[in-house]
């Protein structure tokens, strides 16, 4: 099995484990911390998330430039690039600390009207710890990026899987022993440090990557930033998109409302991560196609192939959430969080097409044209966030969601026009290929699923039976009526590889 297939497979395994663990742990954490402290925990995490964008897109730059040097066989250029990158990361870590100190003294002013004195005291401690976490995590991410550039996806993903499993056990133990939100932040910091150590060892010893400064040129630094700065801008957009609502709610409402919104955002994040598992392994491949001057038809064909595989996975989750999401929320975190279903559903619906188009992001990065998308999304997500600030007064938590999502959808339309004109992508061909047979099959499955939803009963067993029936029908109908022969071959080959690997492990 190739590194690409293994990487995508392990990404899905990691995502499934992460999501299952998150779904199990979230109500446990809420129960142990309480609604208010859980809301505080997510609020400060969201606030510090704005600092996390200060990697300036360097991780993506590492993937792009190292893959380029690999394709050109320029080892010296690669060594020099990586050495300069680490110097830049050192400067960024210092900037993170300085910005963190400045923001630390603003917490009283920003949240003084919505948080109690006790909550602000805890918030300050968590903020300091999270800033330190960011200062070490940002440069540490370079090692994972190097693995991706070398198309060695297996090891870093295995490390992530191990981290989630170990963290889950430690979180349970910590909270059972009376730990609080501050303890969770300390635990996450230590786990991130361990991941960095493992990945750095693999890069230096297994891949034998060297960081050697042959020549420091400001012109080269400018070249790096001319690429990565737009990844940075888009990262700011994503922080607005995902965390801006939490900060607005934290300022205008209270910590319990933040907790409710955070659950909806969490579900949206879980949804988007399933598509990212496929697209994340294709940036090096996109760079190679750009270096080889692939035609617009070839790029469109690749985008359709990746998009269809992503969409098949996404619609399974979306369909189940449409039909059984309300029941899930009530069973999972209780009736207090019932609005989280609407928040999660709106986010999932808005995310579906952009997630199926993730390969276009890789093409933009590989072609050094990411600036347009970054600027468009920055403009419209900012306007959407401002709209959400006003809508919250009349629509409550949902108003923030509607405002941000509206900005997202307008930006999507503008960016698709750009894909067509500047990347040589045939967007009409893409959508025809993407939705061919999949959309009508999905609608039929939803109709059948609506009858499954009416099966009498309550509780987790009833919920599980309904979902199993739905997913079985989904898999059968998609296989028979929606996917094409090449997609069936991919699925069959993947299943064969898994069976052979399982048999080999049993024999050994």
Among 192-196, 200-204, 240-244, 438-442, the range scoring the smallest mean pLDDT is 240-244
Indicate whether 500 belongs to any domain: no
Indicate whether 16 belongs to any domain: yes
Q: What range does the domain containing 421 cover?
A: 3-436
**By percentage, how much of the chain surpasses pLDDT 70?**
87
Indicate whether 476 belongs to any domain: no
Indicate whether 454 belongs to any domain: no
Rounded to whole angstroms, the Cα distance separating 82 from 51 reads: 23
As a residue count, the chain comes to 508
pLDDT tens readout for residues 284-337: 566 566 656 778 888 898 889 888 988 998 999 999 999 999 999 999 888 888
pTM assigned to the model:
0.71
State the Rg of the chain over Cα. Answer: 23
Which is nearest to 194 in space by CA: 154, 129, 140, 130?
Answer: 140
Average pLDDT over residues 449-468: 93
pLDDT tens readout for residues 47-68: 655 555 555 567 777 877 887 7
Indicate whether 369 belongs to any domain: yes
Average pLDDT over residues 345-365: 87
Rounded to whole angstroms, the Cα distance separating 118 from 122 reads: 6
Indicate whether 50 belongs to any domain: yes
Indicate whether 58 belongs to any domain: yes
Residue 279 has pLDDT above 70, yes or no: no
> Cβ atoms within 10 A of the Cβ of 154, count?
15
The one-character DSSP state at 337 is: G
Contact (Cβ atoms closer than 8 angstroms) between residue 123 and residue 246: no
What is the total count of domains within the chain? 1
Indicate whether 329 belongs to any domain: yes
DSSP assignment string, 49-82: HHHHGGGTTHHHHHHHHHHHHHHHT-HHHHHHHH
Average pLDDT over residues 213-232: 74
**By percentage, how much of the chain surpasses pLDDT 90?**
24
């Amino acid at each position: 099995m190739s590194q690409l297939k293994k990487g995508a497979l392990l990404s899905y395994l990691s995502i499934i484990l992460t999501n299952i663990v998150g779904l199990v742990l979230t109500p446990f954490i809420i129960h142990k911390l309480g609604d208010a402290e859980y809301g505080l925990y997510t609020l400060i995490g969201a606030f510090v998330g704005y600092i996390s964008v200060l990697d300036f897109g360097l991780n993506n730059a590492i993937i792009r430039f190292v893959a380029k040097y690999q394709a050109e066989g320029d080892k010296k250029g690669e060594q020099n690039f990586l050495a300069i990158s680490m110097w830049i990361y050192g400067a960024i870590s210092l900037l993170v600390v300085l910005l963190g100190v400045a923001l630390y003294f603003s917490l009283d002013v920003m949240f003084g009207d919505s948080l109690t004195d006790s909550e602000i005291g805890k918030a300050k401690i968590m903020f300091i710890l999270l800033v330190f976490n960011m200062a070490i995590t940002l440069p540490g991410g370079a090692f994972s990026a190097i693995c991706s550039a070398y198309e060695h996806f297996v090891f870093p993903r295995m490390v992530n899987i191990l981290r989630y499993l170990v963290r889950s056990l430690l979180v349970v133990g910590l909270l059972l022993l009376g730990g609080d939100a501050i303890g969770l932040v300390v635990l996450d910091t230590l786990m991130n440090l361990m991941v960095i150590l493992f990945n750095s060892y693999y890069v230096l010893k297994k891949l034998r990557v060297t960081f050697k400064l042959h020549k420091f040129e400001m012109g080269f630094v400018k070249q790096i930033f001319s690429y990565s700065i737009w990844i940075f801008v888009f990262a700011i957009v994503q922080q607005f998109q995902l965390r801006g609502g939490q900060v607005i709610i934290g300022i205008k409402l209270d910590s319990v409302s933040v907790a409710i919104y955070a659950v909806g955002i969490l579900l949206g994040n879980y949804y988007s991560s399933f598509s990212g598992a496929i697209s994340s392994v294709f940036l090096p491949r996109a760079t190679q196609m750009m270096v080889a001057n692939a035609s617009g038809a070839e790029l469109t064909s690749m985008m359709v192939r990746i998009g269809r595989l992503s969409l098949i996975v996404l619609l399974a989750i979306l369909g189940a959430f449409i039909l059984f999401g309300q029941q899930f929320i009530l069973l999972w975190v209780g009736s207090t969080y019932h609005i989280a279903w609407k928040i999660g559903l709106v986010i999932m619906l808005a995310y579906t097409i952009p997630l199926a188009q993730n390969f276009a992001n890789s093409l933009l990065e590989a072609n050094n044209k990411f600036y347009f998308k970054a600027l468009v999304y920055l403009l419209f997500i900012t306007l959407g966030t401002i709209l959400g600030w006003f809508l919250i007064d009349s629509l409550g938590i949902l108003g923030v969601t509607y405002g941000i999502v509206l900005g997202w959808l307008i930006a999507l339309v503008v960016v698709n026009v750009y894909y067509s004109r500047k990347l040589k992508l045939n967007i009409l061909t893409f959508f025809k290929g993407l939705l061919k047979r999949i959309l009508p099959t999905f609608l039929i499955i939803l109709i059948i699923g609506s009858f499954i939803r009416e099966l009498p009963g309550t509780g987790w067993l009833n919920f599980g039976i309904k979902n199993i029936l739905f997913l079985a029908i989904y898999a059968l109908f998609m296989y028979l009526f929606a996917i094409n022969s090449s997609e069936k071959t991919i699925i069959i080959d993947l299943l064969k590889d898994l069976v052979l690997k399982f048999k080999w492990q049993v024999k050994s």
